[in-house]
């Protein structure tokens, strides 16, 4: 890299590395010459995409006109489905929920502010903080769960935001609703509360983020179409908050940030309750299958409320990850997720889960002390 260009880069940007996504199917194929690859690394929906959403994308006839930047129809649809008195003006759309997260930092933080978050949690929070010259105050999980008391103690005069990831990536654990209610009660009003609920649809019960957003002004909930709706590749997320907060965020939004294919797909997917139900049911069954498989192998996992599990392995996570990859199963090594000696595994179809469990059995056998 050129030294001159290096010197021109903003200092906060110099301090971050690019986001590292999970291994792709193509990368695994190329590296090991594999034919069949099972990808359980990015918490995507193993059932694919809602057929209605796929049909809506195929039916698009033109793309040469900019979308209506107001996005009224989809925002109303989201508001309607959210209930809780949510109206169109409480909904903001993003190019994935990641964009909305970045917008929160751009809109509300100043260099020198602090943002309180869990450790480990979704790595993008820390990365966004660094990029914006904000100090990430990272509070260790307790038994894999957000330690809300410790997070509250970490809130100080410089705290601008607190981010709660529920269910938490990479552990899959959820926050206990009563503990959360107490936490919110004690949180100073001036602190922005961000609830990232990318996996909320998989939870049968838990914190009702939207209710909090509608009742506490400095609160925002992030949701996504990337997970249960099976639309990770179209990039669509949304935020729900009170109107004042949405209005500030509208100032930092790029025009036309949601594409026409995303709008069409999401509109159809939001109405596909059958697909949603099937996805939840497949996840429940898959989680039971993995839990039973781990028990047989003598392994433990954190209780998961999401579509992935964090299983403890009796070896280096990266060695286990590599051993699985060689057999055509892609998972995430906990080493890169600040979760050593664990793997993060997306719950797949019954066949994918069985393939993974068989591969894991072989890895454990090959690594066992002889
Ligand atoms: C906690 C969390 N939030 C957000 C996202 C990504 O959301 P999107 O695809 O909507 O940008 C993920 C994806 O892995 C996630 O785990």
Residue closest by Cα to atom 7 of ligand 1: 97
Q: Which domain holds residue 281?
A: 7-48+274-367
Q: How far is the CA of 236 from the centre of ligand 1 (A)?
A: 10
What CATH number has the domain bearing residue 302? 3.90.1150.10
283 occurs within a structural domain: yes
Which of 271, 305, 339 is the C-terminal boundary of a domain? Answer: 271
Q: In the listed set 271, 298, 319, which residue is the last one of a domain according to the structure?
A: 271
Q: Which residues of the chain have pLDDT under 70?
A: 1, 368-370
Pairing state of beta strands 135-140 and 308-312? unpaired
Residue nearest (by alpha carbon) to ligand 1 atom 12: 198
C-alpha to C-alpha distance for 224 and 237, rounded to whole angstroms:
4
Identify the CA nearest to 271 among candidates 46, 71, 50: 50
Quote the CA–CA distance of 287 and 148 in Å, as a whole number: 26
Tell me which residues have their CB closer than 6 angstroms to ligand 1: 43, 96-98, 122, 165, 169, 196, 198, 224, 226, 232, 237
pLDDT tens per residue, range 15-69: 888 887 878 898 889 888 888 999 999 999 999 999 999 999 999 999 999 999 9
Task: Compute, in angstroms, the gap from residue 284 CA to the centroid of ligand 1.
Answer: 20
Whether residue 349 is contained in a domain is answered as yes
Q: How far apart are CA 172 and CA 122, in angstroms?
A: 11
How far is the centre of ligand 1, averaged over its atoms, from the C-alpha of 97 (Å)?
Answer: 6
Which pLDDT tens digit goes with each residue over 183-231?
999 999 999 999 999 999 999 999 999 999 999 999 999 999 999 999 9
Closest ligand 1 atom to residue 99 Cα is 11
- The confidence score (pLDDT) of residue 183 equals 98
Number of domains in the chain: 2
Decide if 43 contacts 169 (C-beta within 8 A): yes
Ligand 1 centroid–CA 314 distance in Å is: 29
Domain CATH number, residue 178: 3.40.640.10
Domain identity same for 165 and 84: yes
C-alpha dist (Å) from residue 222 to 118, 166, 247, 281, 284 = 17, 10, 16, 23, 23
Three-state DSSP class for residue 36: coil
Atom of ligand 1 nearest to the CA of 97: 10
**Rounded Cα–Cα distance for residues 71 and 14 (Å):** 36
| pLDDT value, residue 124 | 95
Contact residues for 157 (Cβ-Cβ < 8 A; gap 6+):
none
> Which of 203, 224, 339 best tests ligand 1's pocket when mutated (most atoms within 8 Å of CB)?
224
63 and 209 both lie in a single domain: yes
Task: Give the mutation target among 21, 122, 310 for probing the ligand 1 site: most ligand atoms within 8 A of CB.
Answer: 122
The pLDDT of residue 367: 77
- Do 225 and 125 belong together in one domain? yes
Determine, yes or no, domain membership for 241: yes
Regarding whether 174 and 62 lie in a shared domain, the answer is yes
How far from 62 is each of 49, 67, 93, CA to CA, in Å?
22, 11, 22
CB atoms within 10 A of CB 266: 25
**Position 199 in a domain:** yes
Q: How far, in Å, is the centroid of ligand 1 from the Cα of 103?
A: 14
CA within 13 Å, CB half, 274: 5
pLDDT reported for residue 370: 52
Is residue 1 domain-resident? no
Per-residue pLDDT at 19: 83
Q: Which atom of ligand 1 is nearest to the CA of 224?
A: 10
d(CA 137, CA 342): 23
**114 and 13 both lie in a single domain:** no
Residue 46 CB coordination number (10 Å): 21
Whole-prediction pTM value? 0.96
**How much distance in Å is there from the Cα of 115 to the middle of ligand 1?**
18
| CB-based contacts of 41, cutoff 8 Å, min separation 6 | 22, 23, 330, 331, 332, 344, 346
Please indicate, yes or no, whether residues 246 and 341 belong to a single structural domain of this protein.
Answer: no
pLDDT at residue number 118:
98
131 CB-contact burial (10 Å; exposed 0-12 / middle 13-18 / buried 19+): middle
Triad 334, 306, 291: Cα angle to 5°: 75
Q: Is residue 343 part of a domain?
A: yes
Pick the last residue of a domain from 219, 246, 271.
271
Q: Ligand 1, from 41, 128, 169: best to mutate by most atoms within 8 Å of Cβ?
A: 169
Whole-angstrom Cα distance, residue 296 to residue 323? 19
In a domain, 2, yes or no: no
Instruction: Please tell me the predicted confidence (pLDDT) of residue 18.
Output: 87
Residues 237 and 117 grouped into a single domain: yes
Closest C-alpha residue for ligand 1 atom 16: 169
Q: Examine the domain organization and report whether 133 and 160 are in the same domain.
A: yes
Asked if 20 and 64 sit in the same domain, the reply is: no
């Amino acid at each position: 890299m050129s030294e001159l260009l290096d010197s021109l880069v903003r200092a906060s940007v110099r301090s971050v590395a690019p986001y590292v996504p999970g291994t792709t199917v193509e990368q695994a194929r190329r590296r090991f010459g594999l034919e069949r690859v099972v990808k359980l690394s990015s918490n995507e929906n193993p059932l694919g995409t809602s057929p209605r959403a796929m049909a809506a994308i195929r039916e698009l006839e033109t793309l040469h006109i900019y979308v209506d930047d107001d996005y009224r129809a989809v925002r109303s649809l989201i508001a309607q489905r959210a209930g809780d008195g949510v109206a169109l003006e409480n909904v903001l759309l993003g190019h994935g929920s990641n964009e909305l997260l970045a917008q929160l930092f751009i809109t509300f933080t100043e260099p020198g502010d602090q943002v309180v978050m869990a450790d480990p949690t979704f790595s993008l929070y820390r990365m966004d903080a660094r990029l914006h010259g904000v100090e990430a105050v990272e509070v260790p999980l307790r038994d894999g769960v957000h330690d809300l008391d410790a997070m509250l103690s970490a809130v100080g005069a410089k705290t601008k935001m607190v981010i709660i990831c529920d269910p938490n990536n990479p552990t899959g654990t959820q926050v206990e609703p009563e503990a959360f209610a107490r936490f919110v009660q004690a949180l100073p009003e001036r602190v922005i509360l961000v609830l990232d609920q990318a996996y909320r649809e998989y939870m049968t019960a838990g914190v009702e983020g939207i209710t909090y957003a509608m009742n506490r002004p400095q609160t925002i909930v992030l949701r996504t179409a990337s997970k249960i709706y099976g639309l990770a590749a179209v990039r669509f997320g949304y935020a729900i908050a009170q109107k004042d907060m949405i209005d500030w965020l509208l100032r930092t939004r790029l025009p036309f940030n949601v594409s026409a294919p995303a709008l069409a797909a999401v509109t159809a997917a939001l109405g596909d309750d059958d697909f949603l139900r099937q996805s939840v049911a497949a996840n429940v069954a898959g989680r039971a299958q993995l839990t039973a498989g781990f028990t047989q192998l003598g392994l433990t996992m954190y209780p998961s409320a999401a579509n992935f599990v964090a299983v403890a392995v009796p070896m280096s996570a990266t060695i286990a990850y590599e051993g699985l990859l060689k057999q055509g199963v892609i998972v995430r090594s906990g080493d890169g997720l600040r979760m050593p000696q664990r793997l993060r595994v997306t719950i797949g179809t019954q066949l994918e889960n069985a393939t993974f469990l068989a591969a894991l059995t072989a890895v454990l056998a090959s690594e066992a002390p002889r």
